[in-house]
Amino acid sequence: MITSNPILFTIMCVCGLQAMILSGLIAFKHPRRLANIFLASLVFFYALIVVNIVLVNVLKDQGLLYVFRYIQMEMLFGSGPALYFYTKCISDHKFKFKRSNFLHFLPLVLEFIFYRTSFYRIGSDGLYLNELPTYSYVYLTQQWLGVFSIFVYSFISLRILIKHQKQLKEYYSKIENISLKWLQTPIIIYVSYQILWRIISDTDRFVFDSYYREYYFLPNFVILAVINCWIGFKGYIQKERDLVNLKSLPLKIKEQSYEKDTIEKDTIFLSKINTLMDTQKPYLNQELNLSMLSELLEMKPKQVSLKINQNFSKNFYDFVNSYRVKEFQERVKSNNNQKLSLLGLAYDCGFNSKSTFNSVFKKQTKLTPTQYIKTLKNYS
pLDDT digits 0-9 by tens, 249-287: 444 444 444 444 445 678 899 999 999 999 999 999 998
Ordered DSSP codes for 263-302:
SPP-HHHHHHHHHHHHHT-GGGSTT-BHHHHHHHHTS-HH
Determine the pLDDT at residue 250: 44
Determine the pLDDT at residue 211: 80
- Most trustworthy range by pLDDT among 122-126, 227-231, 293-297, 337-341: 293-297
Tell whether the model's pLDDT for residue 177 goes beyond 60: yes
Average pLDDT over residues 337-362: 86
**The Cα angle at residue 26 between residues 25 and 32, in degrees rounded to 5:** 105
Q: How many CB atoms lie within 10 A of CB 20?
A: 20
Range(s) of the chain covered by CATH 1.10.10.60: 267-379
Average pLDDT over residues 21-28: 94
For the chain, the average pLDDT equals 84
Determine the pLDDT at residue 204: 85
Q: Is domain 6-247 annotated with CATH 1.20.1340?
A: no
- The helix/strand/coil state of 172 is strand
Q: How many CB atoms lie within 10 A of CB 177?
A: 12
Distance, CA of 28 to CA of 19 (rounded, Å) = 14
- Most trustworthy range by pLDDT among 85-94, 102-111, 138-147, 170-179: 102-111
CATH class belonging to 267-379? mainly alpha
Tell whether the model's pLDDT for residue 80 goes beyond 50: yes
What's the pLDDT band for 112 if we cut at 50, 70, 90? very high
Determine the pLDDT at residue 1: 56
Query: What phi and psi, each to the nearest 5 degrees, are found at residue 86?
Result: -65, -45
What's the pLDDT band for 187 if we cut at 50, 70, 90? confident
313: left (phi over 0), alpha (psi -120 to 50) or beta: left
pTM (two decimals): 0.76
Residues of the chain with pLDDT > 90, as a percent, come to: 35
More confident residue, 40 or 248: 40
Tell whether the model's pLDDT for residue 193 goes beyond 90: no
pLDDT tens digits, 194-246: 788 778 888 887 888 778 888 888 888 898 899 899 889 988 887 654 443 44
What's the pLDDT band for 248 if we cut at 50, 70, 90? very low
Q: How far is CA 220 from CA 204, 215, 270, 380, in A?
A: 14, 9, 56, 56
Tell whether the model's pLDDT for residue 190 goes beyond 80: no
Sign of CA dihedral 64, 65, 71, 74: positive
Distance, CA of 183 to CA of 242 (rounded, Å) = 14
Distance, CA of 82 to CA of 51 (rounded, Å) = 19
Q: How many CB atoms lie within 10 A of CB 37?
A: 20
More confident residue, 60 or 230: 230
Range(s) of the chain covered by CATH 1.20.1070: 6-247
Tell whether the model's pLDDT for residue 170 goes beyond 90: no
What's the pLDDT band for 179 if we cut at 50, 70, 90? low
